[in-house]
Structures are given as structure tokens and as C-alpha cells.
Amino acid sequence: MSSKPRTAITPTRAENYAEWYQQVIRGADLAEPSPVRGSMVIKPWGYALWENMQRVLDDMFKATGHQNAYFPLFIPLSFLQKEAAHVEGFAKECAVVTHHRLEVGPDGKLMPVGELEEPLIVRPTSETIIGDAFSRWVQSYRDLPLLINQWANVVRWEMRTRLFLRTAEFLWQEGHTVHATREEALEETMRMLDVYATFAEEWMGMPVIKGEKTAGERFPGADQTFSIEAMMQDRKALQAGTSHFLGQNFARASEIRFLDRNGTHQYAWTTSWGVSTRMIGGLIMTHGDDDGLVLPPKLAPTHVVIIPIFRSDDERARVLEYCHGVARELGAQRYAERRVQAIVDEREERGGDKIWHWVRKGVPLRVEIGPRDIEKDALFVARRDRSPKDKQSIPRAQFVADIGAILQSIQDALFARAQAFRREHTHEIDTKEDFYAFFTPERVAENAPTPIHAGFALTHFSGEVELEQRIKDELSVTVRCVPLEGGEPGICPFTGKPSAQRVVWAKSY
């Protein structure tokens, strides 16, 4: 093993993908498990990334006419019962508040007292509690459309949790809108799916497929669910955002009615849509490499880290002054609607440790500056999308002037790489035998130390719920979505029946 190239993360993706994921998070200091079952602590570097995502998404929501509001954390148990399918899907694993007081018991320990008349559920999603408010807010067609978004924490009592991907508590936004007509609600559903796709591709650099979910994967209570699906580097699919057309189901459940222009009472049409901190998991698994996190520049909390290199105190003062001058000049530049974020790493650490620290954290550009660079008025620059050893000397003025273009070229390179990876691992598969072979881990295991999944299969499908369930049971593979971009009709290899278009099959998170 001594000839194995050094990587900043152990194990590598090929050695053990799941463990690599945990170690990237640890190495970048994004988050950590907490003593509260299934909940995580989002550390400053992870939270700064989330803040950047929030800011961009929030601007996109506002640009499409939405307003933020805030609704209660607790949902009365009776509310959850209002929509039948919703009960089935959401009322299962919830945190239930049953008491409102603590007292010191006979053993000197605190114990819950003050039982509530009606238990309260910590929101797993807010359709029912927001629907209750909307039933008051919506009276007339003049009140429509009602376009609301909430940034909030939600809780789903997951049994198997993984940082960012699936945690009992997570942060998200949930959009909830009310419309006078079916057409307008469907239009809104698609508009927000487009917003999510634009955010994923243009900001996260993560290519996604927009599509509709099959009945089995639909949101409980929705008429139609749409999602964006991304391919992770283990070739599994990650559902990165969903947009639901709720028909009149929740409007009937919550009595959201309005007086139309003709003076008739009508039930309204509603939508809901959300993305969560799960997107951070998607970002990690789209761009991360065996040296750790790789941040798309548009969302990176820090764009440029400057590492001063010096040997003596005398050199130190001179080098630091120069470094701060460069940081100031960079900070006066703009990229992707904010100032370029450049910092000087002045910590008392060895230069090599600093370099690997920032490599693991995924900062797009690393600049090393020592006395000899200052003499030449040039900087030693390394891009995070290339090998850590691939450094280039660039004249200071040129680097500062070009900083926006350099960051954009990293952003573009990451997106192009992710697109190429997805293309390479997406196959049109037309027979049942090829399909089963594609999704049988043994086949892949020959070439890799741990099983890597095959990728996306584009296969015709005649749509039977039982068939999809059987394939799920046999191969742990599901239809991730029916792509919106459509395609030619064909024959379903499982049933021999006609199929309107190929659908995306994959293992998924």
C-alpha cells in the first residue's frame, strides 16, 4: 500500500463510498452527529454554505412573487387526520409532544407532568397547519394567487440517519400557494420545479433531470409530484427537490374556498414545494473528491484563501502585509452577485497543514505567497478542481483582474465534469436481462473493491404499480422520474406493452 497516492480523505470513494462521505464532512468540518438521536449539529462552515444557498433561493422565490411568513412548529393531532392520504404518509414517524411541564420527581430527577388534552405533533411538513391559516386568508378571488414560503426546521423520526441526507430534524423551505384555477396551480408547480433546476445547475453545478414521480413515489395527498433528480458519484440518484400539485385535496381538507367573480364559492387549488439541507449532501457527492469537499465558487463561503509562506519574523511582517493587500484588492471585486470573499490564513500552523486544511474544506482557489513571489509581484495559485500539486504562478494584477473569470471557469468545469460523469453512467437499456444485469451489484464488483452501483437506466415502462414494486423488492431500484423532456414511445421490456417514453430507473438515497 506504500505506493498508493496520498489522499487527504481516507478511505477513498472507491474503497468505501459511504465512509468517504462521512469523512469528507468531518474533514471539511461541515457538521457532526449530536447526542440527540438522529439530529445533527451544522457547524459554521456547513451553515455558511446553507446561508448562501438560502440567499440565492430566497431571491429567486421573491423574484417569482413569493413572500415569506412563519407558521407554528406544532400541529394539533386532529389536523393531521384531515387529509386521508396525508395521514398514511406522514403521521407515522413523528415527534409527539404530550406534556407541557417538568417537575422534580421523588428520585430527585425531572419528570414530565401536565399532560396536554390533545397531543401536538412537531411539524414533519406544514400543509395542514398552513392550510388552516389559508382558509382564513383566502375569501375572494382578489386574495389569489396567494404565494407564501416558509424557512423552517421540520422533524421526521427516521430510523436510519445520515448527516444532511436523512436526519430526524432538518432545515428546509416549504412553499405553499393557493390558486383560483387548476391551470394556474399546475403552472406554479412547474415554475418552482424550474427554479429548483436552475438553482441546482447554475449555482450548485449539479446537473438534474426534471420529471414526474410515479404514483408509488408521490407525496401523500398530492395529485402529481415532480422532482429534480441528480446522479451522485456512486451512481445512485438523489432526489434534490420536489414540487407538488395538490389539486383540491388540501383545499377540501382545510376548507380553503373563495368567492369567484360570479359570486360562487369554489374550492381553491394548491401547490407545495421544498428543498432542504439534503442539497448539501448532494453537493458533497456531486463534486467531492478523494481530497475532500469541492465547493462550486458561486456558493463557496470563501472564494480564495491566501496562505503566507515565511521563515523569519522579518519575512512574516512583510509577507502578511502583502497578503492582506491582495485580499483587499480581491474583496473589491465582485462575483456572482456578491463581493469576492478572500481570507488570509494567519493561524499558527505549518504551511503544509494549512494547505490540506483548505483543500479538505473545498475552497475554490488557494494562493500561496512567499518572499520570492512578492519580489516578482506574482502569486502561486492552485485551483481546487485540479490536482493539489498543480500550481501556477500568476502576476498579481492579472489574478485580481481575472478573479471573476477564474471562479466562473471553476464553476463551469465542475458542472461539465458532473455532466460527463452522468452521461457516462446513463444507459438506454431495452431488455429485461440487460436491466437485471445492470442493477446486479456482482457485475460491478469485478472492477471495484466495493460495490458501486451501475447508474441510471433509461428504460421503457408500461407503468404498473405492482411491477414497479416487484422490481423494487428484487433489485432495490425504482423509477426516479418520468423525464419531462419526454422521448420516443416504445415497448416495455417487462410487460411487452406500449410505453409512452423511457423513464429513469436507479438506486437512490
Chain positions contacting its own copies, by CB under 8 A: 32, 34-36, 39-44, 47-48, 50-51, 67-77, 79-81, 87, 91-102, 104, 109-110, 112, 114, 119-122, 129, 132-133, 136, 142, 148, 152-153, 155, 157, 169, 171, 347-348
Q: Looking at beta carbons only, is 44 or 489 nearer to its own copies?
A: 44
Q: How far is the CB of 295 from its own copies (least distance, A)?
A: 17
Q: How far is the CB of 307 from its own copies (least distance, A)?
A: 17
How many angstroms separate the CA atoms of 168 and 37, rounded?
A: 8
Q: How far is the CB of 242 from its own copies (least distance, A)?
A: 22
At residue 252, what is the residue type? R
Q: How far is the CB of 463 from its own copies (least distance, A)?
A: 30
Q: How far is the CB of 43 from its own copies (least distance, A)?
A: 6
Q: Looking at beta carbons only, is 105 or 216 nearer to its own copies?
A: 105
Q: Looking at beta carbons only, is 141 or 509 nearer to its own copies?
A: 141
Q: Looking at beta carbons only, is 182 or 347 nearer to its own copies?
A: 347
Q: Looking at beta carbons only, is 105 or 395 nearer to its own copies?
A: 105
Residue 74, judged by CB atoms within 10 A of its CB (0-12, 13-18, 19+), counts as: middle
Q: How far is the CB of 317 from its own copies (least distance, A)?
A: 21
- Report the run of H or E that residue 44 belongs to, with start and end: helix 44-63
Alpha helices in 430-483 (DSSP H): 432-438, 441-445, 465-475
Question: For residue 286, which of 435, 153, 445, 425 has the smallest C-alpha distance?
Answer: 425
Q: How far is the CB of 263 from its own copies (least distance, A)?
A: 16
How many angstroms separate the CA atoms of 483 and 214, rounded?
A: 11
Cis ω before 11 (30° cut-off from 0): yes
* Cell numbers given for 108: 430527585
Q: Looking at beta carbons only, is 73 or 394 nearer to its own copies?
A: 73
Q: Looking at beta carbons only, is 48 or 458 nearer to its own copies?
A: 48
Q: Looking at beta carbons only, is 23 or 126 nearer to its own copies?
A: 126
Q: How far is the CB of 456 from its own copies (least distance, A)?
A: 33
Residue with cell 447554475: 202
Alpha helices in 244-370 (DSSP H): 249-254, 278-287, 313-331, 351-361
* Cell numbers given for 455: 447508474
Q: Indicate the DSSP class of residue 239.
A: E
* Cell numbers given for 286: 456531486
Alpha carbon 313 to chain centroid, angstroms: 45
Q: How many CB atoms lie within 10 A of CB 392?
A: 12
Residues in Cβ contact with 63 at an 8 Å cutoff, skipping those fewer than 6 apart: none
Q: Looking at beta carbons only, is 25 or 232 nearer to its own copies?
A: 25
Q: How far is the CB of 71 from its own copies (least distance, A)?
A: 5
How many angstroms separate the CA atoms of 135 and 139, rounded?
A: 8
Residue 347, judged by CB atoms within 10 A of its CB (0-12, 13-18, 19+), counts as: exposed
